[in-house]
A and B are shown apart, each in its own frame.
Chain A
Amino acid sequence: MLDFPRWKQLWLWSITLLACFAALPSLLAVGGVSLPQALPSPMINLGLDLAGGSHILLEANPEQVKRQRLETMEEDVRARMRNAEKPIRIGEISTKDGTVSFMVADPGQVDAAREELQTLTSGAQLTGQRDWDLQVLDGNRIVLRPTQAGIDLAISQAMDTATEVVRKRIDALGTREPTIIRQGANRIVVQVPGLKDPQALKNLLGQTAKLEFKLVDSLALPSDVAQGIAPPGSEIVPLVADPRTGQTGGAIAVKRLGGIKGDRLTNAQQAFDQQTNEAIVNITFDQQGGAKFAKLTTENVGKPFAIILDGKVLSSPVINEPIIGGTARISGSFTVESANQLAIALRSGALPVDLKVVEERSVGPDLGADSIEKGMIAFGVGTIALMLFMLATYGRFGVYTNLALIINTLMILGIMAIMNTTLTLPGIAGFVLTIGAAVDANVLINERIREERARGRKVIQAVEMGYTEASRAIFDANITNVIAATLMFLFGSGPVRGFAIVLMIGIATSVFTAVTLTRMWVVGWLRRARPSELVL
């Protein structure tokens, strides 16, 4: 029992000091002091509920990704068949039922068509799984069916791109330290601390910013358009709502094919129309995009074309002359703010999918500050009261318990800082609770020593029995708490997780401080003083 080798003591002290030192920067930061840059200073992050800010959960619709893939495939198939060495004539392409299917006019060319489609369907994955299954029905109908692996990959890629775009857009707003994480198959979590007005952020993220230029079908009958009937080869696109009046209504028919996408941009800036003084957005194409745009405008001088943003027509000006400089301007009854947001959105690229806000939480910074202050006061008062109680109940052993308690607190903070975890409001509660429960280990030990003394055991043996016998219950109790905390972490979200992390760290440190450290101190004292009687 009295055997406590020096190396072991050194080892225990160094762990303790290391963890406590890691807590220093966070503690000093509360007092407004910051350490010199050169020193490593791990910090505890404050959760949004403490620091104030916004938490936004965005969700993409996987169906949209699937639909877009079908459309891209349709275009690719058409291009491949047309550009084949010996052009292959095909009938109308159907994209119903989640497949791409078409007839090959000459049944003798089916094999050639299959050959052409080979690279489109094989997929780029290393696993060798195909992205599309190719089937030939009735001799000359080719059906392309997306595989699950292909769909999953497409959704995953779309979400990666979307996350990147979201990051660029938020950076453009100039907010500090946003957290942007992909969650699950089709979600993105955005957390921006200290944000006062989440509205601008949400407007920006809610915009897909898919820009298209399509020719207006001027032959469509206005009566048909009003009823939503599109002439063959055209589609009906609604007009954008007026930002000032909020009025919606109206639509025009545009040609489905022959337009270009506005995704090849090198720049987009908000500006003003020199004549009308209206807010506009100037865009600059890259070389390839500029060439396409020049071609479109050269071939269609005198015709109107529609500028379509996220499936709504912004404006439909007439092409007065070919635009070959690679720049264009988008007008469409913008406010300065909405033009600016569109410019940011276009600069950061279009989102490959629409994102919807499915969960939003924002906390005002005053409440957060209030919570931290009250949490700290409660913690301070609770700890001091507890320490007095321990001192009164266990005397010298109470001093050891209290020392363990202080070190425990510092170690939890230190480990949280090293692991770069986030302290949330329930986390503070978890902290207070951990302190309360940590004392239980010492209570168990001290009570057991008392009992063993009452049974007439000698001091040293009573202490040894106290530690060994109590350890069993301490161990079992802590394991069950670890089980509860782990499940909280696995199943919980947000605040519950923050709580679980503190609890798990607290369980580990409290066993260390309450059992191992106090034992070292008690043994040291027994060796020095060799008491024949215990005041307990």
Chain B
Amino acid sequence: MKLLKLVPDNTNIRFLRWRVPFYVISTLLILASWGLILTKGLNLGVDFVGGQMIRVTFERTAEAPVAELRQTVGQLGYGEPIIQQFGKPNEVSIRMKLPEGSERNTDLADQMARKITASIKEGHPDARIDGVDSVSGKVSGELFKTGMQALIAAVIAISIYIWVRFEWQFGVGALYALVHDVSLTLGLFAVTQMEFDLNIVAAILTLIGYSLNDTIVVYDRIRENLKKYRRMPMPELLDLSVNETLSRTIVTSLSVLITLLALLLLGPNVIFGFTAAITLGIFVGTYSSVYMAAPILIWLKVSSSSFVQVESEIERQERLAREKS
């Protein structure tokens, strides 16, 4: 049986030859992302800014009448709605600010939801109300705070772990790669103005985990090679490590992409943004492990003396056998 081999044996691609231009581009991308996030802003969902979101599916209409809905709902006197399609063209989310005074009298929010759904159903009997979320400003503020805490805590805790398990330079490298991944993903949300809600925070945490998985595999190999080839110059050694793990990188990325694509194309529409964020993260994360996490080790002057040589049992036996002969 002939097996599928996506990557030939003993590749020797000099990935790191382009490390400087890639570094410049990536750093510019990070800056651009933050520029966009700060100027354009994220399209924060009701989870984070409070308000009301009504999800509607038009069961017998191919495309939701967004413009008409905007007008109908806008005329109710609750201010301008934010209407977005998500997943499929016949599914929309309608977001409203909570009416004035609803902090004290929660009936006002209910009245608004009832009026909006009634006005939609009137014009479109096939409209199916899939859900109503009302989040008060106080709760949304807390959700935002805890969400950001989770992100920052995760990034820091993981970097510390890598520092402990490897060397401080590796911790810095992993941290930079993570900042890169998170920034670019946030940047994507700023560009596309996809809705940013609690689920997306989970998605970002997931891609942090995935990107790290990748970084660690490369780092593990670098550590191993540093012990093995004590005299090899760093750029060469990094190239060797990346090439040696290349087949694994490709196969794993493809595996995860296969499952994610299934979820993206066939899965529930409600989590479209969520899966889209993770899918992007797979690409960004794989790239950052090679071009962000690895070259930084050259600049931070990692060398084989950073690690003490450890010989495995098999290697010892083989060396003894060699010496005997």
By a beta-carbon cutoff of 8 Å, the part of chain A in contact with chain B is 49, 57, 59, 199, 202, 206, 356-364, 366-367, 370-371, 374-375, 377-379, 381-383, 385-386, 389-390, 392-395, 425-426, 428-430, 432-433, 435-437, 439-440, 443-444, 447, 450-451, 454, 457, 461, 464-465, 468-469, 472-473, 476-477, 479-481, 483-485, 487-488, 490-496, 499-500, 503, 535-536
Contact = CB atoms under 8 A, between A and B. Distances in A.
B136 to A, nearest CB: 4
A186 to B, nearest CB: 12
Contacts of A425: 268, 270-271
B222 to A, nearest CB: 11
Given A386-B258, A389-B255, A473-B216, A374 B131 contact: no
Contacts of A439: 252, 255-256
Nearest to B52: A360
16 contacts: A356-B106, A358-B106, A362-B131, A362-B132, A367-B131, A378-B268, A386-B255, A395-B1, A429-B263, A447-B245, A473-B221, A481-B212, A487-B150, A487-B153, A496-B205, A535-B1
A378 B263 contact: yes
Contact of B217 (A379, A395, A473): A473
B3 A536 contact: yes
B139 A359 contact: yes
A17 to B, nearest CB: 26
A47 B212 CA distance: 30
A465 B313 CA distance: 10
B129 A495 contact: no
Contacts of B271: 425-426, 428-429
A257 to B, nearest CB: 29
A433 B206 contact: yes
Interface residues of B, number: 81
Contact of B136 (A359, A382, A479): A359
Given A367-B57, A443-B255, 5 more contacts: A385-B262, A433-B210, A476-B162, A477-B213, A477-B216
Contacts of B206: 430, 433, 484, 499, 503
Given A199-B110, A374-B267, A433 B256 contact: yes
B308 interface: no
B259 A432 contact: yes
Interface of B: 1, 3-6, 9-10, 55, 57, 106-107, 109-110, 114, 128-136, 138-139, 143, 146-147, 149-150, 153-154, 157-158, 161-162, 165, 198-199, 201-202, 205-206, 208-210, 212-213, 216-217, 220-221, 224, 244-245, 247-248, 251-252, 254-263, 265-271, 274-275, 278, 312, 314
Given A57-B139, A461-B314, A487-B150, A480 B213 contact: yes
A367 B275 contact: no
Contact of A389 (B109, B217, B258): B258
A378 B262 contact: yes
A381 B263 CA distance: 9
Contacts of A426: 199, 202, 271, 274
B139 A492 contact: no
A433 B259 contact: yes
B268 A484 contact: no
Contacts of A457: 314
A492 B154 contact: no
A465 B136 CA distance: 57
> Which of B130, B139, B162, B209 has the most chain A CB atoms inside 10 A of its CB?
B209
Nearest to A361: B133
Contact of A480 (B150, B202, B216, B259): B216
B147 A491 contact: yes
Contacts of A429: 263, 267, 271, 274-275, 278
B178 to A, nearest CB: 10
Given A426-B199, A480-B161, A487-B154, A437 B146 contact: no
Contacts of B3: 392-395, 535-536
Contacts of B245: 447
Contact of B263 (A395, A432, A454, A503): A432
A140 to B, nearest CB: 41
> Which of A57, A362, A375, A496 has the most chain B CB atoms inside 10 A of its CB?
A496
A480 B289 CA distance: 15
B217 A488 contact: no
A447 B57 CA distance: 47
A59 B3 CA distance: 61
Complex A-B, nearest 8 residue pairs according to Cβ-Cβ distance, in ascending order: A382-B262, A491-B150, A436-B256, A378-B267, A382-B259, A371-B268, A367-B130, A473-B220
Contacts of B274: 426, 429
Nearest to B197: A495
Contact of B252 (A356, A430, A443, A480): A443
Nearest to A199: B110
A206 B217 contact: no
A464 to B, nearest CB: 7
Nearest to A497: B202
B200 to A, nearest CB: 10
A490 B150 contact: yes
B149 A491 contact: yes
A64 to B, nearest CB: 13
Given A425-B270, A488-B202, A536-B3, A477 B263 contact: no
A378 B258 CA distance: 10
Contacts of B278: 429, 433
A367 B209 contact: no
A447 B138 contact: no
A468 B312 contact: yes
A367 B88 CA distance: 13
